[in-house]
Structure 1
Amino acid sequence: MEPGDDITSITRVSTPYELSPLSFDAPYEFPRHFLPTVMKDDSKIPLVLVACGSFSPVTYLHLRMFEMAQDHFKERNEFELLTGYYSPVSDYYMKEGLAKAEDRVKMCQLAVETTSDWLMVDSWEPRQTTYQRTAIVLDHFDHELNTVGGGILTASGERRKIRIMLLAGGDLIASFGHPGVWAPDDLHHIVGHYGCVIIERTGTDVYGFLLSHDILYQHRMNVTVIKQLIHNDISSTKIRLFVKRGMSIKYLLPNPVIDYIHAHGLYLPRPPSQATLEGGKEQK
């Protein structure tokens, strides 16, 4: 590819992975293929992490968050981390730069299927026809894992309830303090009933925020903060801007995700006629 070439006109080479768009026409099925059926250590609490977000697109930072959490829990004796899930928001989140739910789920699937042997993507939330609050999404995972799935077996044969925690970046946690964004009852439910694992991002002072936020401070024993030893500031917003400007996004996200973005023309500038037609619409 030469400087100035139109990125949409480049012929993509054949790939070993499927780049066809995902369809929600098929019945929903909760993914369990990487979920262990028996615990390795009965002395620990079984744990599943859930990352909620736009993932438009999913990046290496989103993947690294789970790996950092895995390293953290390996060094501690309280929890046995079983698996992790991505739960992309539905189209009704109405966020600028949000690709269609089917595209975002597919990109997350491509990312984990080609790079991970323990992470999965759940499509329940993006299939919904209304925006689902994070508290409700965590309740969904609790239902699937503990009510439908019956928790997990210990080596001694007893069934144990799986603990569920929200995995999030420091920027999402900082939004807990924005007036009107999060209902206090939801915060009590998310942090008090489930718990949060927070990956600090560059420029965020999570400990300072915990001290200043009444609800988070009340449930501080349910909050785990993990520092990045190698700072990674990749953001989906910057990725979308790079694509829009025709810049390279290689080595910022997995190659299958890059191929999918290019194959379907995601995040490119809108045609002038479309931008003109939508110019008078209310921006949400």
Structure 2
Amino acid sequence: MVSDPSTSLNGCRVALLTCGQFDPPSYAHLRMFERARDFLVRTMGCKVVEGIMSVAGDSPSTRTSAKHRLRMVETAVRKNFWIRAGDYECNQRTPIRQIAVLRHYQKVDTEKISHKHDEPIRMMYVCGSEVLDELVAVQSDGGCLWTRAEKNIYVIEDETFPNDLRCSRIRTALRRGESVKYCLDDDVIEYINDHNLYQTNS
């Protein structure tokens, strides 16, 4: 997780955000939110007000349309009381940077929630190790840009349910006709079957 370094995190009201293709959304995505929330509540004394799964828009590299991916995320979180699907990113005409997505939801939550409380909402970006590796930027002198913000980065291991579940593996299993039960929500699996998603390599 990455937080804004401007203020202390202890006891803050926090919203969690992750951006991704969610192609398809799996239990691993939801578990990441639960583990982050558990850490913030138990270790930092925070109040986690919501989690947002921001669905990326269509691009030449996307395999499944944003329309289907958004619907699958909405289906996956339909019974969750604090995690919701975010459609701002996928509704943009052109791809936008994740920092712009974070700022958008920071503004939305500030207007929606903060006016009821004296303290502002702190937005935190949550991602898996695979995404974190991609975000690491190396400067010309060989130094890592993360060094400046390392005090605001929290690396959390899930000892209860460690997994290396990747969307690409799920898509491969679906193309092969293999079962993905207990990897995805049953209603997401039903949606995939109803719309014949992931049946070819296209």
Per the normalisation by structure 1, the TM-score is 0.63
Task: Report what 1:192 is aligned to.
Answer: none
Highest RCO, 1 vs 2 (Cα 8 Å, sep ≥ 6): 2
**Identity of matched residues, %:** 28
Partner residue in 2 for 1:126: 90
Hey, what's the Cα distance between the residues in 1 that align with 2:113 and 2:168? 39
Q: Determine the C-alpha separation between the residues in 2 that align with 1:226 and 1:152.
A: 31
Q: Which residue of 1 aligns with 2:109?
A: 145
Give the 4+ runs in structure 1 shifted more than 3 A.
none
- The 1:247–1:150 alpha-carbon spacing in structure 2 relative to 1, beyond 3 Å, is closer
Q: Which runs of 5+ in 1 are unaligned?
A: 1-42, 185-211, 276-284
Task: Name the structure 2 match of 1:58.
Answer: 25
The residue number in structure 1 matching 2:36 is 69
Helix, strand or coil for the counterpart of 1:226?
coil
Q: By how many angstroms is 1:79 displaced?
A: 2.1
Cα distance in 1 for residues equivalent to 2:23 and 2:44: 35
Asked whether the 8 Å contact 1:177–1:213 carries over to 2, the reply is: no
Paired residues of 2:17 and 2:123 also in contact (CA < 8 A)? yes
Max Rg structure: 1
Equivalent pairs counted in the alignment come to 190
Q: 2-side partners of 1:213 and 1:137: how far apart?
A: 27
Using the TM superposition, give the Cα deviation of residue 178 of structure 1 relative to its aligned residue in structure 2, in angstroms. 6.1
Conserved 8 A contact 2:137-2:144: no
Please give the per-residue CA displacement for 1:26-61, whole angstroms capped at 9, x wherever unaligned.
xxxxxxxxxxxxxxxxx8211000010010000000
Out of 59, 63, 67, the residue aligned to residue 102 of structure 1 is 67
C-alpha distance in structure 2 between counterparts of 1:129 and 1:177, whole Å: 27
Q: Give me the TM-score of the superposition, normalised by structure 2.
A: 0.87
2:135 to 176, 185, 189: 176
Structure 2 residue 81 is the aligned partner of structure 1 residue 117: yes
CA 1:47–1:231 in 2, change beyond 3 Å: closer, same or farther?
same
Among 112, 123, 146, the alignment partner of 1:164 is 123
Asked if the contact 1:152–1:162 (Cα under 8 Å) also holds between the matched residues in 2, the reply is no
